[in-house]
Copies of this chain bind each other. A is one copy, B any other.
Amino acid sequence: MPDHPSSDAKATHAEVELSAVRLQEVAEAAGVSTITVSRCINNPARVSEKTREHVLKIANRMGYIPNRLASSLASARSMVIGVVVPTIANPIHGMVLQGVADILEPAGYQVLLGNSHFSKRSEFELVRTFLGHRVDGILLTGRDHSEECLDLLARSRTPMVEMFDHNPEPPDMAVGSSNFDAGASLGQYLIARGRRYFAYVGHTGLDDSRMIARLQGLTKVCEAAGLAPPRHYEIASDPGTGTGGEVVGTILREVPEIDAVVFAGHQVAVSAIRYSVDVGIAVPQRLAIAGFGDSPIAKWITPSLTTVRFPVRENGIEAGKLMLGRLQGKPCKQRSIRLGFEILGRDSA
């Protein structure tokens, strides 16, 4: 052991974090104080051009990478945004995330990602973790959150945007299309084309309020048209997998008068079309099939799928913009942005 008791700890640390250039080293090399180097990087306007160029050149030459942990700790801004999606394996959320990143990354923010697996409990845990990382903002998917989660968010005063669902009175901010309206519109479209007996197929075990809102919208227009409410079925599969076929058989066996099946997702709807064609159910003559969400396969299958297109990437972009506006202290025009949707009337209904 060396006989420099005061530098022991430092020496040990230096071994761990080998050769990391610190602000102070740059300052010494440039012959200025540390705060000046800091300002050259974070607040260039407060430093003369000459000094700035000189310092930045040296910092660059030394391969200096500012330690954002220290910076964040001292300034209480982390330049990190936490994003919770149900599952990143679903391309939809991938595209939302792409929109988010396309706005946030150029502004210098990084995305900290978490998968809730459609569980409010996991969402809460992720929010807790994100707050531990002192993220500057949090984006959540949907408008259905646990009480304690919202409470935590409110108490921590962390900006939050709900994405991918419409919420006229969000806890903080929100972006998305109305799933209720989408369900209603699709229902109207089908009713206008002569459908009278509906079934709606959701997914068990996915605590997804958007799929429920779609059913509620559909139910409303059924009632308004004096029709029976849609029969509600659930299948135990991921929205991403193609196992929507068998349920069609079940439905027609149990309630033969049903002439339209609306699926909560598009992949399952496509697999239902595939199944129906295979077993000789005429689509759309005998049975209309429709879904929510679009994909190449929905367009290319025969008959092509009548479905609802949501502006997916826009969700992410608008959410990112909303967050950015808040973080930059701009006056917020509106807390809730309502996005539209489009009924893609194709061959299956």
Contacts and interface: CB of A to CB of B under 8 A. Distances in A.
Interface of A: 13, 16-20, 63, 65-70, 72-73, 76, 78, 80, 87-91, 93-95, 97-98, 101-102, 105, 110-115, 128-134, 152, 155-157, 241-242, 267, 270-271, 274, 295-297, 300-302, 313
Given A63-B155, A68-B132, A89-B95, A76 B270 contact: no
30 contacts: A13-B76, A17-B76, A18-B157, A19-B155, A20-B156, A65-B128, A66-B132, A68-B132, A68-B133, A70-B73, A80-B112, A80-B133, A87-B98, A88-B94, A88-B101, A89-B94, A90-B94, A97-B113, A101-B115, A110-B113, A110-B133, A111-B114, A112-B112, A112-B113, A241-B296, A267-B296, A270-B296, A295-B297, A300-B301, A301-B301
Contacts of A110: 112-114, 129-130, 133
A68 B132 CA distance: 5
A237 B93 CA distance: 22
A267 to B, nearest CB: 6
4 closest A-B pairs by CB: A297-B297, A91-B91, A94-B94, A89-B98
Contacts of A101: 88, 113-115
Given A69-B69, A110-B112, A267-B296, A88 B80 contact: no
Contact of A134 (B67, B102, B131, B271): B67
A327 to B, nearest CB: 14
B16 A76 contact: yes
A102 B93 CA distance: 16
Contacts of A313: 89
A76 B10 CA distance: 12
Most buried by B among A19, A68, A72, A95: A68
Nearest to A273: B300
Contacts of A98: 87-89, 115
A242 B297 CA distance: 10
Nearest to A301: B300
Contacts of A87: 98
Nearest to A71: B132
A168 to B, nearest CB: 28
Most buried by B among A13, A19, A133: A133
Contacts of A66: 132
Contacts of A90: 94
Nearest to A16: B76
B134 A68 contact: yes
Contacts of A267: 296
A132 to B, nearest CB: 5
Contact of A111 (B113, B301, B302): B113
